[in-house]
Amino acid sequence: MAMNDSVNILNSAYLAVEYIDSFLPDNPLQQPFKNAWNYMLDNYTKFQIATWGSLIVHEVSYFLLCVPGFIFQFIPYMQKYKIQQDKPETWEKQWKCFKTLLFNHFFIQLPLICGTYYFTEYFNIPYEWEEMPRWYVLVAQCFGCAVIEDAWHYFLHRLLHHKRIYKYIHKVHHEFVSPFGMQAEYAHPLETLILGTGFFIGIVVFCNHVVLLWAWVICRLMETIDVHSGYDVPLNPLHLVPFYAGARFHDFHHMNFIGNYASTFTWWDRLFGTDSQFIAYQEKEKKKQFITKK
């Protein structure tokens, strides 16, 4: 009975969103996107699209999303939004991070990406434009992927902080006490595989079109680069996401090497009390600001 009620609620929500969508103006980018998508299908094989397309989406998205945070370090006005103002970025650290990223991307992640085509074939996942889900379905699927990945990340990330294994794997990622966007995927190869597994679980559960692979890649990179940016910028649209953790939440983890283990949301840390030190720190900072204003 409960299952039927849940299905009915989801169907009602879907119909409500579909009804609202019918009143929205046509997206002017839809036709160019459709033309580009069909051109891709006509001129490249599924293997090329799944493999090289996925690699291009990942690389272009990653480094483009890193650009704002990289530019912030040269803008004096933006320094008031930097969380750890006493620890500025250095060229030496950024160059070291960049070299490690290239190794991880092309020697760890690329072999995994090469399996994308076989994954889509095994699960009979379509590529055609006509099979592409509507935007609101895609948004819901990406949110579902984020919820699953966040749960995986919380428990495995917390395990990687265990004193018996921390120094062998996760210590690499914590080399930078004050994180910056490009450092989001700076990690030991084993960590890339362990925590990266959570990314694929949601894909297995929700994927009904190859476009979800790319949409979820972009969403996940947007989130992880934001929380590693080192800047708490106002009017950040990601803060509209319910229970979103944000840069301050994760920056505290890098600053103190403890607590705030989840990747995207706050509920797991709240449930297990691993955000208690962060909450105490926030209250202390609020008191200091209040005294300063007086």
pLDDT, tens digit, 9 for 90 and up, residues 75-124: 999 999 999 998 988 999 999 999 999 999 999 999 999 999 999 999 99
Averaged pLDDT score across all residues of the chain: 90
* Strand, helix or coil for residue 138: helix
Alpha-carbon gap, residue 108 to 102, rounded angstroms: 10
- Helix (H) or strand (E) segment spanning residue 17: helix 2-21
Show the tokens assigned to 72: 């912030």
Alpha-carbon gap, residue 160 to 187, rounded angstroms: 12
Show the tokens assigned to 161: 């902080």
Q: Dump pLDDT digits (tens) for 138-157.
A: 999 999 999 999 999 999 99
* Contact assessment for residue 253 and residue 260, using Cβ atoms and an 8 Å cutoff: yes
Residue among 264, 244, 257, 71 at smallest CA distance from 171: 257
Q: Dump pLDDT digits (tens) for 10-62.
A: 455 556 666 566 666 777 878 999 999 999 999 999 999 999 999 999 999 99
Task: Assign 6 a pLDDT band (cuts: 50, 70, 90).
Answer: very low
Provide CB contacts within 8 A for 61, sequence distance 6+.
Answer: 217, 218, 221, 222
Alpha-carbon gap, residue 24 to 21, rounded angstroms: 5
* Contact assessment for residue 259 and residue 269, using Cβ atoms and an 8 Å cutoff: yes
Higher pLDDT, 286 or 244: 244
Rg (CA), the chain: 21
Alpha-carbon gap, residue 233 to 80, rounded angstroms: 9
Which residues are registered as beta bridge partners of 265? 244
Alpha-carbon gap, residue 32 to 161, rounded angstroms: 47
